[in-house]
Amino acid sequence: MPRCNTERAQAIWRSVMNALRGDLSSLVIDTYIEYAKGVDITSEYFVLCCENTVSRDWIERSQRQNIERLLLEEVGAPVQLRLLAGEEEARAYIAEREKPDAAGVGSEYTFENFIVGGSNRFAHAAAQAVAAGEATSYNPLFIYGGSGLGKTHLLYAIANEFRRRFPAKRVTYVRGEDFTNELIEAIREGRLRAGREREFREKYRSSDLFLVDDIQFIAGKEATQEEFFNTFNALHEAGKQIVLTSDRPPKEMSRLEERLRTRFEWGVICDVQPPDLETRVVIVRSKASAIGMDMPDAVAMYVAENITSNVRQIEGVVKKLGAYSALLREPITVATAQHAIGDVFTEKSEPTADIIIEEVERFFDLDRGSLAGKRRDARTAHARQVAGYLMRTMTKLSFPEIGRALGRHYSTIMYSVDQVVDSRRTDRQLDTDLKDLTINITNHQ
Instruction: Give the interface with ligand ADP as residue ranges (CB under 6 A).
Output: 109, 113-115, 120, 147-153, 283, 311-312, 315
> Considering beta carbons, is residue 173 or 399 the nearer one to Mg ion?
173
| Residues 116, 270 contacting (CB under 8 angstroms) | no
| Residues 384, 364 contacting (CB under 8 angstroms) | no
Chosen from ligand ADP, Mg ion, none, partner binding at 175 (C-beta under 5 to 8 Å by type): none
> Considering beta carbons, is residue 151 or 392 the nearer one to Mg ion?
151
CB of 336 to Mg ion, least distance (A): 29
- CA–CA distance from 395 to each of 4, 388, 407, 412, 430 (Å)? 22, 10, 18, 18, 20
Specify the DSSP element, H or E, that contains 81. Answer: strand 80-85
CB of 230 to ligand ADP, least distance (A): 26
Chosen from ligand ADP, Mg ion, none, partner binding at 153 (C-beta under 5 to 8 Å by type): ligand ADP
Site track 144-163 with Mg ion (rule: CB under 5 A), x = hit: -------xx-----------
Chosen from Mg ion, ligand ADP, none, partner binding at 46 (C-beta under 5 to 8 Å by type): none
CB of 200 to ligand ADP, least distance (A): 26
> Considering beta carbons, is residue 245 or 416 the nearer one to ligand ADP?
245
Chosen from ligand ADP, Mg ion, none, partner binding at 315 (C-beta under 5 to 8 Å by type): ligand ADP
> Considering beta carbons, is residue 56 or 151 the nearer one to Mg ion?
151
Binding segment toward Mg ion, per CB under 5 A, in 11-19, 143-151, 198-206, 303-311? 143-151
> Considering beta carbons, is residue 38 or 140 the nearer one to ligand ADP?
140
Q: How far is CA 426 from the centre of its chain?
A: 33
Residues near 442 by beta carbon (within 8 Å), at least 6 away in sequence: 147, 351
> Considering beta carbons, is residue 78 or 316 the nearer one to ligand ADP?
316
- Residue whose CB is nearest to ligand ADP in the complex, by number: 150
By CB under 5 A, how many residues form the interface with Mg ion?
2
Chosen from Mg ion, ligand ADP, none, partner binding at 412 (C-beta under 5 to 8 Å by type): none
DSSP per-residue letters across 355-388: HHHHHHHHHTTPPTTTTTSS--SHHHHHHHHHHH
Chosen from Mg ion, ligand ADP, none, partner binding at 224 (C-beta under 5 to 8 Å by type): none
DSSP per-residue letters across 142-205: EEEESTTSSHHHHHHHHHHHHHHH-TTS-EEEEEHHHHHHHHHHHHHTTTTSTTTHHHHHHHHH
Chosen from Mg ion, ligand ADP, none, partner binding at 312 (C-beta under 5 to 8 Å by type): ligand ADP
List 94's β-bridge partners, or say none.
none
Q: How far is CA 422 from the centre of its chain?
A: 32
For 232-241, give one letter per residue: b (16+ CB within 10 A) or e.
Answer: bebbbeeebb
CB of 104 to Mg ion, least distance (A): 12
CB of 263 to ligand ADP, least distance (A): 22
- CA–CA distance from 227 to each of 67, 136, 171, 204, 415 (Å)? 50, 24, 19, 11, 39
Chosen from Mg ion, ligand ADP, none, partner binding at 150 (C-beta under 5 to 8 Å by type): ligand ADP
> Considering beta carbons, is residue 50 or 311 the nearer one to ligand ADP?
311
- CA–CA distance from 66 to each of 41, 54, 71, 79, 325 (Å)? 17, 18, 9, 12, 20
| Residues 143, 243 contacting (CB under 8 angstroms) | yes
CB of 221 to Mg ion, least distance (A): 19
Task: Report phi then psi at 144, rounded to 5.
Answer: -130, 160
Is the sign of the CA dihedral 11, 16, 22, 24 positive or negative? negative
> Considering beta carbons, is residue 156 or 399 the nearer one to ligand ADP?
156
CB of 213 to Mg ion, least distance (A): 6
Chosen from Mg ion, ligand ADP, none, partner binding at 115 (C-beta under 5 to 8 Å by type): ligand ADP
| Residues 271, 249 contacting (CB under 8 angstroms) | yes
Residues that bind Mg ion (CB under 5 A): 151-152
